[in-house]
Amino acid sequence: MSYGSTTSACRALLQRDLSLVWRQRGDALNPVLFAVMVVALFPFALGPEPTMLARIAAGTVLVALLLAGLLSLDALFRSDLEDGSLEQLVLSPHPLALLLACKIAVHWLTTALPLLLVAPLLGELLYLPQPVLPVLMVALVLSTPLLSLIGAVCVALTVGMRRSGMLLALLVLPLYVPVLIFAAGACNAAQQGLPVLAPLLWLGAGLALALVLAPLACAAALRISLS
């Protein structure tokens, strides 16, 4: 029996996952709505003073986007497990790590990319200083794929469990903290007029490492969970 090429398999997987997201596009907007609501509540809780809101704006936006990304993380492999396609991916003759990297890329495109687009609006709601906005956007571009890659490994470890939401949060949040620290550190440095290159380089290094190792770890975790 002959199989298609790995490129055609990845293309077919990308088209399938994108079409499934398009059919449920209302659910794909939930993280964006959640982030907007969380950020909009801060002026009501802390008061409308621009100086105070500007001081916490970058950290608030980062935390809101982090929590919003958690909403769709559990569904990364859940539907594939329920319809049996996840087992087919594991049994496929194509590299499992590459196929999972395609699924993670779709998750980032449909979850994190809309959050990136709405981030300037969230910053305006909290009077984010204009010099900090470019640094915040660069930090988000580097950190959101890293969060998706780390989260995918944790999802793969818990995909075989029912009602794994709380366990997934306990696994993911400690691993997200260093990413949040470096991203917030870059924004705080920009707000104080200090150099911002070092924390951004650390985020870039973590992303480069995760791009190589996370799909491999995700493939090994899936084989363990489904065995």
pLDDT tens per residue, range 98-127:
888 888 998 888 888 888 999 999 888 888
Are the C-beta atoms of 141 and 128 separated by less than 8 Å? Answer: no
The amino acid sitting at 124 is E
Handedness of CA 39, 41, 44, 45 (dihedral sign): negative
pTM for this model (two decimals):
0.87
Are the C-beta atoms of 219 and 96 separated by less than 8 Å? Answer: yes
pLDDT tens per residue, range 148-165:
999 888 888 888 676 666
> Residues 63-84, buried b or exposed e (16+ Cβ, 10 A)?
bbbbbbbbebbbebbeebeeee
- Predicted local confidence at residue 1, as pLDDT: 41
Could you state, in chain order, the average pLDDT of each consecutive group of 10 residues for the chain (227 residues)?
69 83 76 88 85 88 87 78 77 84 88 88 89 92 92 84 72 89 92 90 94 91 79
- Predicted local confidence at residue 181, as pLDDT: 92
- Predicted local confidence at residue 70, as pLDDT: 82
From 97, 103, 98, 207, select the one nearest 145 (Cα to Cα): 207
From 75, 66, 142, 83, select the one nearest 106 (Cα to Cα): 75
